[in-house]
Amino acid sequence: MTFAQPALSFILLGFIHMVYCQWQIWDIWQTTWDQKMLLAYSQPNPAPINFVTPGPIGSADIVIDDTAVYQTIYGFGAALTDSSAQLLYNLKTQNSGSYWSLMDYLFNATDGANSAGFSFIRVPLGATDFSARNYSYDDVSGDTPLYDFNIGAAPSYVFTVLRDILSINNMLRVYVLPWSPPGWMKESGTMDGGSLNTAYISVMANYLLKSLQGFQSEGIPVYAIGIQNEPENSNPTYPTCSMPVSTEADIGIALRTYMNGNGFGDTKIIGYEHNWADAANYPVQLMQQAASSFDGVSFHCYAGSVSDQAEFTSQYPNKEVYFTECSGTIGTDWWTDIKWYMDNLFIGSLAYGSSTGLMWNLALDGNGNPKLSGTSSCNPPCRGVVQINSNGTWSVNQEFYAMGQASKAILPRDVGGPWGQRIGVSVGGELNWALVVGAYVTKRVSPTDWNRYSIVVLNW
Ligand SMILES: *[C@@H]1O[C@H](CO)[C@@H](O)[C@H](O)[C@H]1NC(C)=O
Ligand SMILES: *[C@@H]1O[C@H](CO)[C@@H](O)[C@H](O)[C@H]1NC(C)=O
Ligand SMILES: *[C@@H]1O[C@H](CO)[C@@H](O)[C@H](O)[C@H]1NC(C)=O
């Protein structure tokens, strides 16, 4: 199948139907460089756009290979940090209509809804650099049986907002992981930097199991858990922890056993959770040491390049890959950012095997706050996917549109139905550099219904 060259700079999502072997575009969601269209729905006029059989390559022709079917895509989203949850909760108390319209615009995953349909949320276990204070769920020094473990150490607004998201999108996948073990389990004695005392490996695994049970008691089902955010980063100004591969492997092995014995056999364990640059080392060694305990690994964008993901996938093609963190910074160019995000993350990372595409903070204010007092992170200030203002208004940033364009392509077509899977696509012609394309098939509950095909196109 080929599709004629589009003319303007845009990202476009076309939903494609096949009728008697004629492929047609019926539905379009579009965001343009000049911001005249912002995740805007339209139908082609005249409808539909017919695909044609491959002929001589034009200036830039998209060729889809629906016989090559790859990984399932689990969704797009961001991290619900304490700061993001606090801003959202404040908006709810200040202006509940505005809060619910924002929540709907972010999370309503109904097919065809005017929403990005975000479906994957990463939630820190305890404090990060975007918290009101540093805390873990058990800050009683030496409490190795974890008698004083208390999920309620987290601000209640985190769980309130999560339950609100679930009330809009019951397909939400929640991924939890700590930025640091409790300070008393570490050589440094504080959550800020340092490393785990390896005498506490099984205690830390139990801490993670209790975290899953804590989320369950708050009414939040957990899809996946990680062992340690950014295990190659130790920073004395905010919760961080450097963790060698062997420690993460040992915690993962212990945790898998605890989870299987406590009703969490279906909850995934994701490892690594750090930059592309070390894809050939840390995540590969983690699988060498504990492949049966880890379902996959996750990547961040802050060092290396997206093609580094192949260093891992080439060695472990049957393990899952997640792209889980990148942040925009305040003051950068809107369209330049969108091009980079589509190239490297929301089309690019998927092309290199990822099943998700996530940004860092879901919501921040216009100055990239609030942050943990004294942290040196996010300098220049980080931008949230959403900006929430103290006067009860909100706006969405370029990260929203980049992820929204990709998200709509893979949401289930049917209630309770399958999620989109990536399929083969290439671009031919002398202008092929100008189009970056991802292609997806979303299968149906009833085998007699047509599959939905989608293409996500960035036009440089
Ligand atoms: C989601 O969007 C659909 C379609 O626009 C709408 O019917 C439904 O009420 C929305 N759901 C929620 C929870 O807002
Ligand atoms: C929080 O930070 C303070 C000051 O840096 C430190 O003394 C304290 O131990 C930290 N608390 C935890 C739970 O790590
Ligand atoms: C609310 O605050 C934002 C950010 O400071 C500002 O841009 C906007 O104009 C304000 N809106 C109202 C209605 O005051």
| Percentage with pLDDT > 70 across the chain | 95
pLDDT at 17 over 60: no
Pocket of ligand 1, candidates 108, 118, 163, 170: which has the most ligand atoms within 8 Å of its Cβ, to mutate? Answer: 108
Tell me what pLDDT residue 48 has: 85
- Across the range 330-358, mean pLDDT stands at 98
Which ligand gives the minimal distance to the CA of 387? Answer: 3
Give the tens place of pLDDT for each residue, 384-403: 999 999 999 999 999 999 99
pLDDT band with cut points at 50, 70 and 90 for residue 60: confident
**Distance in angstroms (rounded) separating the CA atoms of residues 173 and 412:** 14
Angle between helices 82-94 and 96-107 (to 10 degrees): 130
Whether residue 24 is found in the same domain as residue 172: no
Residue 19: predicted pLDDT: 46
Note whether 67 and 79 are same-domain residues.
no
- Count CB atoms within 10 A of the CB of residue 157: 20
Q: Is the CB of 192 under 6 A from ligand 2?
A: yes
Amino acid of residue 36: K
- Structure tokens belonging to residue 95: 């202006």
391 lines ligand 3 (CB under 6 A): yes
Nearest CA to ligand 2 atom 9: 190
Number of helices (H), then strands (E), in the chain: 10, 24
* 237 alpha carbon – ligand 2 mean position (Å): 10
Are residues 83 and 142 located together in one domain of the fold? yes
Q: Give the contacts of 97 (CB within 8 A, at least 6 positions apart).
A: none
Counting ligands in written order, the one closest to the CA of 109 is 1
Whether 4 shows a pLDDT value over 80: the answer reads no
Give residue 287 CA to ligand 1 midpoint distance, Å: 42
Can you say how many angstroms the Cα of residue 311 is from the centroid of all Cα atoms in its chain? 21
CA of 393 to the centre of ligand 3 (A): 7
Yes or no: say if 37 and 10 are a contact pair by the CB < 8 Å rule.
yes
- Length of the chain equals 460
Catalytic residue among 248, 273, 311, 325: 325
Same domain, 358 and 429: no
Please give the pLDDT value at position 121: 98
Co-location of 321 and 381 in the same domain: yes
393 Cβ below 6 A of ligand 3 = yes
CATH number at residue 148: 3.20.20.80
395 ligand 3 Cβ < 6 A? no
CA–centroid distance, residue 89 to ligand 3 (Å): 18
Higher pLDDT, 450 or 115: 115
Q: Please indicate, yes or no, whether residues 328 and 401 belong to a single structural domain of this protein.
A: yes
Closest listed residue to residue 447, CA positions, set 417, 421, 419? 417
pLDDT at residue 1 in the model: 32
Helix 282-290 × helix 245-260 angle, to 10°: 40
434 and 393, same domain (yes or no): no
- Single-letter amino acid code for the residue at 208: L
Q: State the average pLDDT over residues 12-16.
A: 61
54 has pLDDT over 70: no
pLDDT at 454 over 80: yes
Among 370, 390, 407, give the residue marking a domain's end. 407
Beta carbons of 325 and 359 less than 8 angstroms apart: yes
- Is the CB of residue 208 less than 8 Å from the CB of residue 255? yes
Averaged pLDDT of the chain: 94
Q: Whose CA is nearest to atom 3 of ligand 1?
A: 113
Neighbours of 257 (CB within 10 A): 14
Closest-CA residue to 1 (of 49, 64, 45): 64
Q: Are residues 381 and 435 in the same domain?
A: no
Centre a 10 Å sphere on the Cβ of residue 188 and count the other Cβ atoms it contains. 17
pLDDT, position 49: 82
Q: 391 CA to middle of ligand 3, Å?
A: 6
CB atoms within 10 A of CB 302: 15
> Distance (Å, rounded) from C-alpha 224 to C-alpha 209?
12
At position 299, the amino acid (one-letter code) is F
pLDDT of residue 6: 34
C-beta of residue 239 within 8 angstroms of C-beta of residue 192: yes
Mean pLDDT of 112-136: 97
Q: Indicate whether 246 and 336 sit together in one domain.
A: yes
C-alpha of residue 330 to centroid of ligand 3, in Å: 17
Q: Which residues contact 96 (CB under 8 A, 6 or more apart)?
A: none
Which contiguous run of DSSP H or E holds residue 92? helix 82-94
What's the domain range around 65? 2-71+416-459
Tell me, yes or no, whether 30 and 176 share the same domain: no
**Per-residue confidence (pLDDT) for residue 12, from 0 to 100:** 63
Instruction: Output Rg (C-alpha) for the chain, integer angstroms.
Output: 22
Q: Name the residue of 129, 131, 185, 192 whose CB sits within 8 Å of the most ligand 2 atoms, as the mutation to test its pocket.
A: 192
Residues sharing a CB contact under 8 Å with residue 227, sequence separation 6 or more, in sequence order: 177, 178, 208, 243, 248, 251, 252, 255, 269, 271, 273
- Provide the phi-psi class of 162: left if phi over 0, else alpha when psi is between -120 and 50, else beta: alpha
- Give me the torsion for CA of 331, 336, 341, 342, rounded to 10°: 160
325 in catalytic set: yes
- pLDDT, one tens digit per residue, over 36-45 is 999 999 998 8
187 noted as active-site residue: no
Q: What is the DSSP letter of 348?
A: H
Task: Kindly state whether residues 99 and 155 are assigned to the same domain.
Answer: yes
Domains contained in the chain, number: 2
The answer to whether residue 337 scores a pLDDT higher than 60 is: yes
Could you identify the atom of ligand 2 that is nearest to the CA of residue 183?
14
Tell me, using a 6 A CB cutoff, whether residue 389 lines ligand 3: yes
Ligand nearest the Cα of residue 392 is 3
Distance CA(33)–CA(11), nearest Å, equals 8
Do 61 and 124 have their domain in common?
no
pLDDT at 7: 33
Q: What's 173's DSSP letter?
A: E
Among candidates 355, 351, 422, 439, which has minimal Cα distance to 119?
Answer: 355
